[in-house]
């Protein structure tokens, strides 16, 4: 099939390259000329494992092209995907201006029947909105249909998630239109569900809100465990073995971030309220997530004190999650800003996200690896659970730190092993309250120690 994808962010670029890899002719369009020029030179605007190689292969084979020419691209296509950004407004509602702009461009480019597919994450009712915009702005009396086909990809595993989705959701006005999308997705041989457009739009938001709720619930349980002397890792393992609950998205930590969960939960809450439902459960999910990094920061200060002048604090991980360079809603930003305002010297390392972070936090020191971060540090803070941090030589880390104090915001280390190795260790919900007075005194003593020699 001939396909046009408008937007070359995470969703648009991955969608386009995967469809090209399945044998379709795909044109990806973006209004940012510099981004298109970079893509034509093989420079990716995002980091995603395997993406660069897949783009290069399909460009070389002539199935994938990049351009700023919307009219020519839409004119050639049978199916047009809208995959533009839908950022949040200050009130939590979704900004549909980019979707509207794309719909107007499509309207002016219609030269034959097209299936217009909303791939962007949009609130319920957007399908009708897109149809109205196209009807109002089209230049010719040409028919079209609008379909909702939400994405469920995760940053860091986007290609795999697109090739092997748990389900493919197609919200169409009738079964004939749905069959066009079924034909496109048939090579994937994955479960497909056909719904009306509004239901498909709701499926995306309901899914993300439910997963966010699981995370906040696990974090709330962790907070109780911390006070009661229980270990949340054991608690959620016991919970997750129940087939009705499952293990996924029960890892306690410092909260969810990124481009989806924060935005989508607030948007769904706003949508609910616009229909007269307050949605207290989702409101609590968001409030719990907002509080979680603040609670973690208070823990750091309880151990190290409020004034961190003269202290060097190391931060391991900057991106909101592993295998991405995305800094949107990254908890590292809140934590580092607090450390800086408290007078600390901050050193940080992330395998991928350093360049993106420099634009946000230019005043901290960026290191080439985790050991550079640890050398002479009065404390280490784990913010992102990259695999390489799980495999560090902890004896070496302890030996080069000024004080062996670790705040583990993702619970990647075992508390007993850390204690045996001589660390003062603070995870999330790991039952610290039973020994917190002694541990805090030890950590404070370590924190006042002189810096160790270099790595």
Percent of the chain at pLDDT exceeding 70:
95
Q: What's residue 128's pLDDT?
A: 96
Helices 51-60 and 10-21 pack at an angle, to 10 degrees, of: 50
CA-CA distance, 265 to 271, in Å (whole number)? 10
- Of 58, 70, 72, 69, the closest CA to residue 25 belongs to 58
Active site residues: 260
- What is the average per-residue pLDDT within 406-422? 96
Predicted TM-score of the model (pTM) = 0.89
Sequence-ordered alpha helix ranges (H) in 230-277: 232-240, 261-274
Question: Which residues lie below 8 Å from residue 454, measured CB to CB, with a gap of 6+?
Answer: 375, 376, 400
The dihedral through the CA atoms of 87, 327, 388, 214 has a sign that is negative
Question: Which residues lie below 8 Å from residue 360, measured CB to CB, with a gap of 6+?
Answer: 327, 333
The pair of three-digit structure tokens given for residue 210, joined into one six-digit string: 């439910």
- Write the pLDDT tens digit of every residue in 227-254: 999 999 999 999 999 999 999 999 999 9
Q: What's residue 452's pLDDT?
A: 42
In this structure, what are the phi and psi dihedrals at residue 310, rounded to the nearest 5 degrees? 85, -5
- Write the pLDDT tens digit of every residue in 100-127: 999 999 999 999 999 999 999 999 999 9
- Write the pLDDT tens digit of every residue in 28-58: 999 999 999 999 999 999 899 999 999 999 9
Q: What's residue 432's pLDDT?
A: 65
Assigned architecture for domain 288-447: 3-Layer(aba) Sandwich (3.40)
Q: Which CATH superfamily is domain 2-195 in?
A: NAD(P)-binding Rossmann-like Domain (3.40.50.720)
Domain ranges within the chain, ordered by starting residue: 2-195, 288-447
CA-CA distance, 440 to 407, in Å (whole number)? 12
Instruction: Tell me, yes or no, if the two domains 2-195 and 288-447 fold the same way.
Output: yes
Computed over every residue of the chain, the mean pLDDT equals: 93
Q: What's residue 431's pLDDT?
A: 81
- Write the pLDDT tens digit of every residue in 311-370: 999 999 999 999 999 999 999 999 999 999 999 999 999 999 999 999 999 999 999 999
CA-CA distance, 352 to 107, in Å (whole number)? 39
């Amino acid at each position: 099939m001939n396909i046009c994808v408008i937007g070359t962010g995470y969703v648009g670029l991955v969608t386009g390259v995967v469809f090209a890899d399945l044998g379709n002719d795909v044109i990806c369009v973006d209004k940012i000329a510099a981004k298109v020029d970079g893509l034509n030179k093989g420079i990716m605007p995002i980091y995603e494992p395997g993406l660069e190689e897949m783009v290069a292969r399909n460009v070389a084979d002539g199935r994938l092209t990049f351009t700023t020419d919307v009219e020519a691209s839409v004119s050639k296509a049978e199916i047009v995907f809208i995959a533009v950004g839908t950022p949040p407004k200050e009130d939590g509602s979704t900004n549909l201006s980019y979707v509207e702009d794309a719909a107007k461009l499509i309207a002016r480019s219609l030269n034959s029947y097209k299936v217009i597919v909303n791939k962007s994450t949009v609130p319920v009712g957007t399908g009708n909105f897109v149809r109205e915009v196209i009807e109002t702005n089209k230049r010719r009396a040409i028919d079209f249909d609008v379909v909702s086909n939400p994405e469920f990809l995760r940053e860091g595993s986007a290609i795999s998630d697109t090739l092997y989705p748990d389900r493919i959701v197609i919200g169409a006005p009738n079964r004939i239109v749905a069959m066009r999308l079924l034909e496109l997705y048939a090579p994937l041989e994955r479960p497909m569900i056909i719904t009306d457009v509004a239901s498909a739009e709701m499926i995306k938001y309901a899914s993300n809100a439910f997963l966010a709720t699981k995370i906040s619930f696990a974090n709330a349980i962790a907070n109780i465990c911390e006070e009661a002397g229980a270990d949340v890792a054991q608690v959620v393992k016991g919970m997750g073995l129940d087939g009705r609950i499952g293990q996924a998205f029960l890892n306690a930590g410092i909260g969810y971030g990124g481009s989806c969960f924060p935005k989508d939960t607030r948007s769904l809450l706003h949508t609910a309220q616009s229909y007269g439902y307050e949605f207290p459960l989702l409101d609590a999910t968001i409030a719990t997530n907002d509080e979680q990094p603040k609670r973690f920061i208070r823990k750091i200060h309880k151990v190290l004190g409020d004034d961190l002048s003269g202290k060097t604090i190391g931060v391991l991980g900057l991106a909101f999650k592993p295998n991405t360079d995305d800094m949107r809603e990254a908890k590292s930003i809140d934590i580092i800003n607090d450390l800086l305002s408290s007078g600390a010297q901050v050193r940080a390392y992330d395998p991928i996200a350093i360049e993106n972070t420099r634009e946000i936090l230019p005043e901290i020191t960026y290191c080439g690896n985790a050991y550079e971060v640890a050398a002479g540090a009065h404390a280490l803070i784990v913010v992102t659970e990259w695999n390489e941090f799980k495999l560090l030589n902890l004896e070496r880390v302890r030996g080069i730190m000024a004080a062996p104090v670790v705040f583990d915001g993702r619970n990647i280390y075992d508390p007993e092993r850390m204690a045996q190795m001589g660390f003062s260790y603070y995870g999330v919900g790991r039952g610290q309250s039973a020994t917190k007075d002694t541990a805090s005194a030890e950590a404070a003593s370590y924190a006042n120690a002189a810096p160790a020699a270099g790595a």
